[in-house]
């Protein structure tokens, strides 16, 4: 079954989603971006689902607009998640659909599971300290990345000796119950995340490096197909195991 797709925001991610829409048999019937003259008119007729990748300052109002028009929304914009509770208060998600996530990359969501299992093992040994590092392109609006925050939450849930992540440590000494997570913004880096477990005698590193935006686009497109058939508000990482059962036609 084909679905009619609205791409809301036509930057690098929007274009990548457009290029790969046929992998889920999606018809891109509308593109909206107020910053691009030829796409500055919003058309909502016959739209089955919208994928929104814009800016943290715009995401909340964009999502509200789409939900008010009963259009299921998949949003990959980060930096606005502190307003999720407001969205939940405004809409009955027995009759609306919103899928949000810090990272829609299929590989990153597998990486989350790897980190969870690794940190559980490390927690049993009590010989290792932990740190995190992430790097993105200079145009990324939020620091640290939303993905870095999710990774930190996973670590804090599974390491008994850590209670807080300190982002971009400056002129301060870490407490024993804290760990450092650093950020870099440079050039056109798509997205790199690394976790290290360090001891006096060795070091274990786990990393994920996004080569292109295609992995993010495919994850968002698969989520869009899920959104058409399911009502509710979902964090992509929480429904990943269900969503991934709808594979793209690679």
Q: Each residue of 139-153: pLDDT tens digit? A: 888 899 989 999 999
| Same-domain status, 87 and 76 | yes
- Res 250: pLDDT: 46
| Same-domain status, 189 and 219 | no
Which two structure tokens, joined as six digits, stand for 86? 């407001």
| Position 20 in a domain | yes
- Res 247: pLDDT: 55
184 CB contacts (<8 Å, ≥6 apart)?
A: 133, 134, 135, 136
- Res 53: pLDDT: 95
Domain of residue 58, CATH code: 3.40.50.720
| β-sheet bridge partners, residue 6 | 30, 50
| Position 250 in a domain | no
Domain of residue 168, CATH code: 3.30.360.10
| Position 190 in a domain | yes
φ, ψ of residue 110 to 5 degrees: the values are -70, -40
| Same-domain status, 186 and 201 | yes
Determine the Cα–Cα distance for residues 248 and 250; give it in Å rounded to an integer. Answer: 6
Of 81, 82, 47, give the one whose Cα is nearest residue 67. 47
Task: Kindly list the catalytic residues.
Answer: 136, 140
| Same-domain status, 217 and 100 | yes
Structural domain including 145 reads 106-209
pTM score, whole prediction = 0.79
Strands 178-185 and 203-209 turn out to be: unpaired
Determine the Cα–Cα distance for residues 128 and 163; give it in Å rounded to an integer. Answer: 15
Q: How many domains does the chain have?
A: 2
Determine the Cα–Cα distance for residues 168 and 152; give it in Å rounded to an integer. Answer: 13
| Position 30 in a domain | yes
| Position 249 in a domain | no
| Same-domain status, 94 and 28 | yes
| Same-domain status, 98 and 127 | no
Determine the Cα–Cα distance for residues 197 and 4; give it in Å rounded to an integer. Answer: 45
- Strands of the chain, DSSP E: 3-8, 26-32, 49-52, 73-75, 97-100, 129-136, 164-167, 178-185, 192-198, 203-209, 232-235
| Same-domain status, 94 and 133 | no
| Same-domain status, 8 and 22 | yes
| Position 115 in a domain | yes
| Same-domain status, 120 and 179 | yes
- Res 42: pLDDT: 95
Q: What is the pLDDT along the chain (250 residues), one digit of tens a residue?
A: 789 999 999 999 999 999 999 988 899 999 999 999 999 999 999 999 999 999 999 999 999 999 999 999 999 998 899 999 999 999 999 999 999 998 898 899 999 999 999 999 999 998 999 999 999 999 888 899 989 999 999 999 999 999 999 998 888 899 999 999 999 999 999 999 999 999 999 999 999 999 999 989 999 999 999 999 999 999 998 898 887 765 555 4
Determine the Cα–Cα distance for residues 234 and 230; give it in Å rounded to an integer. Answer: 10
| Same-domain status, 122 and 164 | yes
| Same-domain status, 200 and 218 | no
| Position 53 in a domain | yes
| Position 121 in a domain | yes
| Same-domain status, 200 and 166 | yes
């Amino acid at each position: 079954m084909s679905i009619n797709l609205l791409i809301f925001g036509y930057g690098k991610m929007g274009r990548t989603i457009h290029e790969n829409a046929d992998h889920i048999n999606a018809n891109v019937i509308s593109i909206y971006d107020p910053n691009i003259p030829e796409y500055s008119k919003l058309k909502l007729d016959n739209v089955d689902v919208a994928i929104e990748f814009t800016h943290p300052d715009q995401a909340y109002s964009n999502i509200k607009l789409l939900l008010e028009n009963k259009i299921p929304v998949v949003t990959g914009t980060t930096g606005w998640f502190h307003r999720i509770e407001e969205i939940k208060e405004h809409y009955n998600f027995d009759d609306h659909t919103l899928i949000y996530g810090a990272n829609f990359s299929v590989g990153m969501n597998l990486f989350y599971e790897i980190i969870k299992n690794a940190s559980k093992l490390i927690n049993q040994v009590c010989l290792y300290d932990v740190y995190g590092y992430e790097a993105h392109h200079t145009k990324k609006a939020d620091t640290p990345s939303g993905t870095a925050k999710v990774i930190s939450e996973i670590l804090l849930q599974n390491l008994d000796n850590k209670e807080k992540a300190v982002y971009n440590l400056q002129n301060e000494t870490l407490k024993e119950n804290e760990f450092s997570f650093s950020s870099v913004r440079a050039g056109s880096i798509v997205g790199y995340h690394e976790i290290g477990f360090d001891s006096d005698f060795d070091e274990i590193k786990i990393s994920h490096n996004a080569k292109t935006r295609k992995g993010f686009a495919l994850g968002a497109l698969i989520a869009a197909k899920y959104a058409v058939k399911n009502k509710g508000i979902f964090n992509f990482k929480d429904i990943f195991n269900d969503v991934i059962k709808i594979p793209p036609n690679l």
